[in-house]
Amino acid sequence: MARRARRSQYVGVWVVAAVLVNLPLVHSTWAANRIERAGVDVTAEVTDHGVAGDWHYLRFQLPADVDPAQATRQVEVDDATYDDAVASGELQVRVLPDDPAQFQVDGQAGNGVLVVLTLLVDLLLVVVALLLWRFGRSRGPLRLLAVEDVRRGPPGAELNQVAPETYLVRGEVAEITADRIVLDLDGKSVEVLLNGHSNPVGHQQPAQVHARLA
């Protein structure tokens, strides 16, 4: 149960991380589709411009009938769009009439960096998920093949290699069938295939046996 709880916590954290990582790109894509469907094309006035390294930016104001607040907005554009806008003092903008903060510009620098970063982090999350699945999944009990009859043993748990291919295993009998027993070694299960040997030890009694890897 504790292992399941830990795995559930890991899955929950992974899901939250995946949502947070992808949310900006999803929102950007949703906004772009909305502008494409419901936007109107207007001519904005370029109020300022500048270059910082490879970054070309324009500041502009939308027409008053679209943006009564006459807020100054900024966009990063490619070289050709920048040169044309600086020369003409105008910029073609597609904007949502009911939300002038949502706009697109022909020649606008895309969200390529955001896409690449999102994909890289998504890849990392996939790797983490695979590792959690690989190492966090429940594993079956250790399986051994008896080389002698099972005997009553002293209380306690033990699993020691006593020869190159032989182990002494001791624990409480947790399960019995005709051809196998399962020993509980303080919470760790060890399955012992009887391999034709006998088992006189009853359920929930301490037993021990020499065995090799099955």
pTM of the model: 0.45
Nearest to 158 by CA among 145, 148, 172: 172
Any idea where the domains of the chain sit in the sequence? 2-132, 142-213
Angle, nearest 10°, between helix axes 112-136 and 2-38? 160
Please give the Cα distance from 193 to 212 (Å, whole number). 10
Q: Which residue has the tokens 């290699």?
A: 161
The pair of structure tokens assigned to 96 is 């949502």
| Mean pLDDT of all residues in 41-59 | 89
Name the residue with higher pLDDT: 172 or 13.
172
Number of neighbours of residue 67 by Cβ within 10 angstroms: 20
pLDDT tens digits along 69-127: 999 999 998 888 999 999 999 999 999 988 898 898 988 876 555 566 767 877 887 88
- The answer on pLDDT for 185 being more than 70 is yes
- Which residue has 């950007």 as its token pair? 28
The answer to whether 125 touches 18, Cβ cutoff 8 Å, is yes
